[in-house]
Structure 1
């Protein structure tokens, strides 16, 4: 069960995170009952998850066998060492992160116009600088490539999120963590401090 102080229920917050991230993990169930995880690029478009790939392979067989799937996305912001708050014991060591878990059903997308719109969304996300001709179904080259790959839509049925940034820590512990992050200055430490201020209502 997810601790309630870490739960993020605001849909807009979750959707902004999904729009930011480019990589997630698809969960399927094989015919022999073993769960299977596939890492892949995705786009969150008009309320659903889309991905594309080969028309054959394990994940396609598994989704044909059972359309129920999960999809998870996570971003680790900072490892919080124990000595930020405790000079002796290892127990306070933790990590601050954002994560989203979705459950839904997988459906093949056959409509070329929808595939073109989703591929456009993919390119806007993964290659925002441009450098390519827009998708055009009247272009035989594009039409051949669009028809040659499988696109899957995960129709989202439930969504939950956990954004952990010290919400359960005392004010003094959060101050110590902020001081440690400020001194360390690792890649996402400044952003982590901003997230702590945002999600810890008594820490500004």
Structure 2
């Protein structure tokens, strides 16, 4: 693996516990990020730690999120604020033959960088359209444009990924060899977040067609699969 294929490893992003689960290659980290819609952003303001859940999206090596211009967290990032952005997918519950070996299968990513406010009106409008298209391909062109007041009320934050690491567990039940003969129930329970059937707005005019960009939003499809598919449709990565 070349240096450009992986994020640099330091004390900040090195996976210490169960290091064999660690992933530093961009392909693995990006796949975890792109299959998600919600992240958690950790930061410190005046010595007090905070962690904020929010929708986010990736464009190349940059992550973006948005919120209200009145947000204390976002306003504090205007001059540049070190943050840690994390994403987790819970894939299964694992019941073993002893409490110590109970676990979960998961995919997670942790990204480090310096968050900053994006004030340029043109870049802000472009990025907010990209947010819509990232989740719902082609939808931004179908919408009423945001007003100047709506754009003013929205704050956009960007962060270049300086370092990142992923961590994956996918092995299911893993007991001590001598425990497999014990008459104790053990299993993996898959956990999936799935798309439900659309519930059209009751005030929608008659004759409005289902947008082609939502073709992937099929009931009972896994959300992470739909998000990854939407990302690739929009960006082609």
CA RMSD in angstroms comes to 3.3
Find the counterpart in structure 1 of residue 112 from structure 2. 103
Scaled by the length of structure 1, what TM-score is found? 0.71
Q: Give a deviation string over 1:137-160, Cα, whole Å, max 9, x none.
A: xx6x44442233110001221111
**Equivalent in 135, 143, 149 of residue 126 of structure 1:** 135
CA contact (8 A) 1:43 1:49 kept: yes
Deviations 1:24-57 (A, max 9, x none): 11111121x1110111111111211111111123
- The aligned runs of 1:158-173 (5 Å cut-off) are 158-166=163-171, 169=174
Residues 185 and 68 (structure 1), Cα distance of their counterparts in 2 relative to 1, 3 Å cut: closer
For residues 55-66 of structure 1, what are the structure 2 equivalents within 5 Å? 55-64=69-78
Paired positions, count: 174
> 1:40-55 counterparts in 2 under 5 A?
40-55=54-69
Of the three residues 91, 94, 107, the one matched with 2:103 is: 94
Normalised by the length of structure 2, the TM-score is: 0.62
Match of residue 6 from structure 1: 21
CA offsets per residue over residues 110-162 of structure 1, 9 Å max, x none? 12222222222211233347386358xxx6x4444223311000122111110
Provide structure 2 residue ranges, at least 5 long, that are not aligned to the other structure. 1-15, 181-185, 194-221, 223-237
**Does 1:35 pair with 2:49?**
yes
Q: Does 1:117 align with 2:126?
A: yes
Distance 1:131 1:42, change over 3 A: closer
